[in-house]
Structure 1
């Protein structure tokens, strides 16, 4: 495990910055070389810093191991991979280990804010177990430096007092971010990759039995609507610039708790390790069916089950665990903490970059070599398209 500090802030060169009444707004863009890199951080479980000891580490490491190891690992990953965007997929803080949720959030997200890299987060099932509700948490996260997080989608109701407020939808942290094409290309001002974030909830009671949360029908309705709207915009752009239609606009999704179908992957081919049972809701709300129907989501990135780090395919959509990142969260003695990296690559046209051609992923271990493992192609544009 290597130590790492910032001497100067790292500013993302692929992000346009402009002012608005609410502050600074970021426009996510592919790089000039046609790539866009995302760092997924799952289950930091940040508590109270030095006072929050590590779990499931070697006895020789325990006496000096704390949340600060998580902070160091995040700084190291940002320096090593130089991502264009960081996605935090829930259980960012561990509520029972802090009496001040706001302070824990500031410390947990501190390295990415120091770096100047845009980022976004969803909530897990432990974030709200301290001094803030889920709504308060997402509102606070949305106001943090360089955060693109949103409490929920804005309301489109222009006829009553809801105008300018949030859409009436279950959960907090449902939103979409667009990634625009490479600078200098015809798609420089058009979304070519969409990032959907969904709140999978925490815990609920169903017929007297406690179970994990799930993505509700109102959220799926919003996802269908947002996806359709973005795909219509994508086709309009292709018509205007007279490029051949190649595919529904590519999208990725991020949420915390896995869907029930992920359990099926134990009996199928997968890349990575299936080390523990899938802790999902007893309710199947039709997330997979919805994702298949909208056609644009190529991969989903989840957390929750810390020692699972595999990617498996369900009906043409990849589901990938980030792997446990935080040292205050449970793990397995001798098993290195880890992070997932996602790389989207554009198709090279005759004269310029076009739409997304390929999505790849790999993991980095917090070991002496920061080992890169399990690199794979998740999705690739069909040559016939």
Structure 2
């Protein structure tokens, strides 16, 4: 009887373990758990203050070492400071934390942190109870022995680790700790791990409300294929090769280009249309994402992101990355409904200048990654029927709201991987067609759904050296939809194809004239010129190319 109970208990335990793994896998891939559950699993817990910080280093040669301090006292930040490249070493930041209401007079709370060399004399400039204390890897902390009402805003309440000499921190209430990076033992390439801290309570993020300007115009900048790394990254196919003496740091040059165009074009919205992260060179995808987000947050520009086929080839899944985007200031990005395939199926309503009526709807869809059925369809994945159904249902439901707007609705869509119809050579196009169209081999006819719902233009990324807009026509030869490319903007992705210069695309919607104009801007060469500027919609109708 006892053996039967033990055997049954073992079997039930094993079954529970398998179910847990299955749910964990499915949730990471398909989000089977309700969003309400995810909302109760924050990365950084509220109501806690940090009382100590240290770094634990251990050897990978010791199979018994978990590289973790006493879990009853310490919480480990789950990022190996070597980013899993250490020959024989691993290292993790550990923090002690306590709920504010549980603090006693004896507890010391961290009120400041520094990393790197620190003048010991600085300790003499503070109260005796608040001297700088040394910790491993060049960390210095200052702790307060007394608790006052004013301490709450100074107290460090969360700690994170970002990587790279170009690391940036876009989160509200957070700051990178300087002046240096954490000092690791030799034996691995220095990944420049940096501490980032938050003081006080989490800052509540309000989503921006995009709105047509008073002059009736709205400008969208589409930035695609940034291919950002953890760290400065290595340039691929940089043109011209002799630029800056041949020295090229991919992310530095990429972001300099984007920042210049943001300041010159002053867009009302930025669309990040996939492959923001170059997965294989981004062992910490969070650090890569934060670099592009930081320059948008600094300029207070709303932005919306979707994913490409490389974003989730690094350390974070699509869902985890979208959670980051959703938590950042000025982000309009959304995971979208978990009842359809993909992460990042959503829409953004741009409101009229003076009221709450929708003037423009922008649709964003996940084009996934690689073909799930390579035996029958090689290459890339396709937009799924349930995504198309969601799009059509959503578009139809929004039409009632659009009736209250007195101007013509000029709706657009953004994807990463081009539709098969992009590859029709016989159609008119404006711009450069420099490489093959890497579209899915299987066609679910999403283009037809776009036309049926009155979308005027769809724009993608993916093929870096293609930057054209192609005109789809109906059976009577009448224009029905413009299909555009952004062109690749990042030096971490391929360029090539005959002196290709990185670029991005701009759309300007004029609601008064019911027009959509578009052009491209280059990183090098005639950088002030609007390249291939054209009107693609006039008086609310898709029109043929001019000239």
Which bin holds the TM-score, normalised by the shorter protein? 0.7 to 0.9
Map 1:182-201 → 2, pairs under 5 A: 182-183=353-354, 188-201=355-368
Q: Deviation digits for residues 89-118 of structure 1, max 9, x if unmatched?
A: 101110001110111111133211221100
Partners of 1:260 and 1:282 within 8 A in 2: yes
Q: What is the 5 A alignment of 1:148-167? A: 148-152=332-336, 166-167=337-338
1:286 has 2:445 as partner? yes
Q: What secondary structure sits across from 2:208 in the alignment?
A: strand
Displacement of 1:56 in angstroms is 4.0
CA contact (8 A) 1:49 1:66 kept: no
TM-score (norm 2): 0.58
One of 201, 222, 229 as aligned partner of 1:40: 222
Question: Does structure 1 retain, via aligned residues, the 8 Å contact 2:515–2:535?
Answer: yes
Which ranges in structure 1 are unaligned for 5 or more consecutive residues? 1-8, 10-20, 153-165, 349-356
Q: For the structure 1 residues 336 and 229, does the alpha-carbon distance in structure 2 shift closer, same or farther, using more than 3 Å as the test?
A: same
- What root-mean-square deviation, in Å, do the aligned CA atoms of Structure 1 and Structure 2 show? 1.9
> Is 1:259–2:419 an aligned residue pair?
yes
Aligned to 2:379, the other structure's residue is in SS state: strand
Compare 273-282 and 135-144 and name the one that shifted more.
135-144
| Larger CA deviation: 313-322 vs 209-218 | 209-218
Of 100, 110, 116, 2:294 maps to: 110
1:49–1:68: 8 Å Cα contact kept in structure 2?
A: no
**Could you tell me the TM-score, scaled by structure 1's length?**
0.81
1:53: Cα distance to partner? 2.8
* Runs (5+) with no aligned partner, structure 2: 1-169, 171-202, 474-479, 542-547
Aligned-partner SS, 2:399: helix
Partner in structure 1 of residue 181 of structure 2: none
How does 1:15-30 map onto structure 2 within 5 Å?
23-30=205-212
2:506 paired residue number: 341
Q: How many residues are aligned here?
A: 329
After superposition, where does 1:109-258 map in structure 2 within 5 Å? 109-152=293-336, 166-183=337-354, 188-206=355-373, 208=375, 210-235=378-403, 237=404, 247=408, 249-258=409-418
Q: 1:168 to 1:368 in 2, by over 3 A?
A: same
Q: Secondary structure at the match of 1:347?
A: coil
Q: Which has the larger radius of gyration?
A: 2
Larger RCO: 1 or 2 (CA < 8 Å, sep 6+): 1
- In 2, Cα distance between equivalents of 1:336 and 1:258: 21
Q: Is the 8 A contact 1:42 1:303 kept in 2?
A: yes
Q: 2:436 aligns with which of 277, 284, 290?
A: 277
**Partner residue in 2 for 1:365:** 522
1:335-379 CA distance string (max 9 Å, x none):
21111010000226xxxxxxxx11110111112541211111111
What are the superposed Cα offsets for residues 303-361 of structure 1, whole Å, 9 maximum, x if unpaired? 0000000001113110110011011111125221111010000226xxxxxxxx11110
Query: 5 Å matches for 1:302-313?
Result: 302-313=460-471
Deviation at 1:167, TM superposition (A): 4.0
In 2, Cα distance between the equivalents of 1:96 and 1:341? 29
1:300–1:318 CA contact under 8 A, matched in 2: yes
The offset of 1:213, in angstroms, is: 1.4
The 1:382–1:253 alpha-carbon spacing in structure 2 relative to 1, beyond 3 Å, is closer
C-alpha distance in structure 2 between counterparts of 1:137 and 1:30, whole Å: 29
- CA drift at 1:382: 5.4
